[in-house]
């Protein structure tokens, strides 16, 4: 395919010999490449489908009312997920209550109030780095700070300490989502608000924030669904696997769905593995509801966009 000698062009037959477009062969390679790329994409989805079907087949027969409303037990047939389920709902509320206002506030500050100075730049780099820290490291932070140092406030290894840790974990995600939602609001709205004499905060509160709110909410729900699926930080904090009571805010141990699943997976008996599959189904349903809400909000937001 390469022509090194410029004289080759003048000699017709020689050029024909040297330049061989070989279109058929190249198109064949093209096809192979295209098919390979489709296979790679579909493979990911096939794996996802395979996983879901496997879990459904294993766990669905076990899923019943008794399973949802029972406390842990040494026998797999009598065990249930009441305590972990309540623990997960607790975590959802605490994490949302802490992370949402702080994350949105920090996002508003960075997008609306800050000027480009050293502080802002440090803040941005810092948030970028935090988003990449492994979740288990947050667990260690929670263990050292919320469980040990703030033991008087959090009560030690409680659902409160765990909720605070998860809130820190998803804070960068919410901040980034808030900033993106705010950035999507046209600048003319801000200019109009300020031209009418409103302060920056009034403009943001009355005009910008309502426009950006569905986007912020979507990002927050997605972040929360990430927090709900987290296992590692909760183990490090000291979530328990045998909680035969409804966990309370800052007293006594707590459990959560992923923890219970992890515990059941680790048992040698096959009956507990079935329990784990049923637990996974419940967890996936919770996540599915959250994700569907987020997608619904996003679609509604896109439809009503100015």
90-119: which residues touch other proteins (CB under 8 A)?
101-103, 105-106, 108-110, 113-114
Tracing tokens 């395979």 back to the chain, one arrives at: 50
In the region spanning residues 197 to 256, those forming contacts with other proteins, defined by CB under 8 A, are: 197-202, 204, 222, 225-226, 228-232, 235-236, 238
Among 56, 76, 123, 189, binds other proteins (CB under 8 A): 123
Nearer to other proteins, 154 or 231 (CB): 231
Verify binding: residue 45, other proteins, rule CB under 8 A: yes
Q: Are 256 and 91 in contact (CB under 8 A)?
A: yes
Rounded to 5 degrees, φ, ψ at 288 are -60, -45
Verify binding: residue 182, other proteins, rule CB under 8 A: no
Verify binding: residue 22, other proteins, rule CB under 8 A: no
For every residue of 9-46, DSSP letters joined together read GTSHHHHHHH----HHHHHHHHHHHHHHHHHHHHHHHH
In whole angstroms, what is the distance from residue 265 CA to residue 278 CA? 11
Among 258, 275, 297, 301, binds other proteins (CB under 8 A): 258
| Cβ 152 to other proteins shortest distance, Å | 15
Q: 10 Å Cβ neighbour count for 37?
A: 10
| Cβ 183 to other proteins shortest distance, Å | 16
Verify binding: residue 44, other proteins, rule CB under 8 A: yes
Q: Are 203 and 155 in contact (CB under 8 A)?
A: no
Q: Are 255 and 83 in contact (CB under 8 A)?
A: yes
In whole angstroms, what is the distance from residue 228 CA to residue 290 CA? 10
Among 181, 278, 283, 297, binds other proteins (CB under 8 A): 283
Nearer to other proteins, 51 or 68 (CB): 51
Q: Are 87 and 243 in contact (CB under 8 A)?
A: yes
Contact segment (CB under 8 A) with other proteins among 65-73, 129-137, 182-190, 243-251 equals 129-137
Verify binding: residue 43, other proteins, rule CB under 8 A: yes
Nearer to other proteins, 48 or 68 (CB): 48
Nearer to other proteins, 203 or 211 (CB): 203
Verify binding: residue 303, other proteins, rule CB under 8 A: no
In whole angstroms, what is the distance from residue 253 CA to residue 239 CA? 7
Nearer to other proteins, 244 or 266 (CB): 266
Residue 21, both tokens: 């477009």
């Amino acid at each position: 395919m390469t022509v090194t000698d410029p004289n080759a062009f003048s000699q017709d037959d020689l050029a024909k010999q040297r330049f061989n477009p070989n279109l058929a062969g190249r198109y064949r390679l093209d096809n192979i490449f295209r098919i390979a790329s489709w296979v790679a994409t579909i493979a990911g989805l096939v794996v996802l489908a395979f996983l879901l079907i496997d879990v459904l087949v294993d766990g669905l027969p076990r899923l019943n009312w008794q399973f949802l409303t029972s406390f842990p037990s040494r026998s797999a047939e009598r065990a249930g997920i009441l305590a972990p389920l309540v623990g997960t709902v607790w975590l959802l509320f605490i994490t949302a209550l802490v992370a949402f206002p702080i994350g949105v506030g920090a996002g508003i500050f960075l997008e609306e109030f800050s000027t480009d100075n050293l502080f802002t730049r440090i803040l941005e780099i810092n948030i970028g780095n935090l988003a990449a820290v492994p979740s288990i490291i947050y667990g260690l932070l929670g263990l050292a700070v919320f469980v040990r140092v703030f033991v008087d406030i959090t009560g030690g290894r409680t659902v409160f300490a765990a909720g605070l840790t998860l809130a820190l974990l998803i804070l960068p995600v919410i901040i980034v989502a808030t900033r993106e939602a705010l950035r999507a609001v046209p600048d003319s709205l801000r200019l109009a608000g300020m031209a009418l004499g409103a302060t920056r905060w009034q403009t943001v509160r009355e005009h910008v924030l309502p426009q950006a709110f569905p986007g912020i909410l979507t990002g927050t729900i997605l972040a929360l669904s990430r927090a709900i699926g987290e296992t590692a930080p909760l183990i490090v904090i000291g979530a328990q696997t045998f909680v035969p009571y409804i966990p309370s805010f800052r007293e006594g141990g707590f459990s959560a769905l992923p923890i219970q699943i992890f515990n059941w997976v680790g048992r040698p008996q096959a009956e507990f593995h079935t329990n784990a599959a049923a637990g996974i189904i419940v967890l996936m349903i919770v996540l599915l509801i959250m994700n569907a809400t987020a997608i619904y909000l996003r679609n509604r937001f896109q439809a009503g966009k100015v």
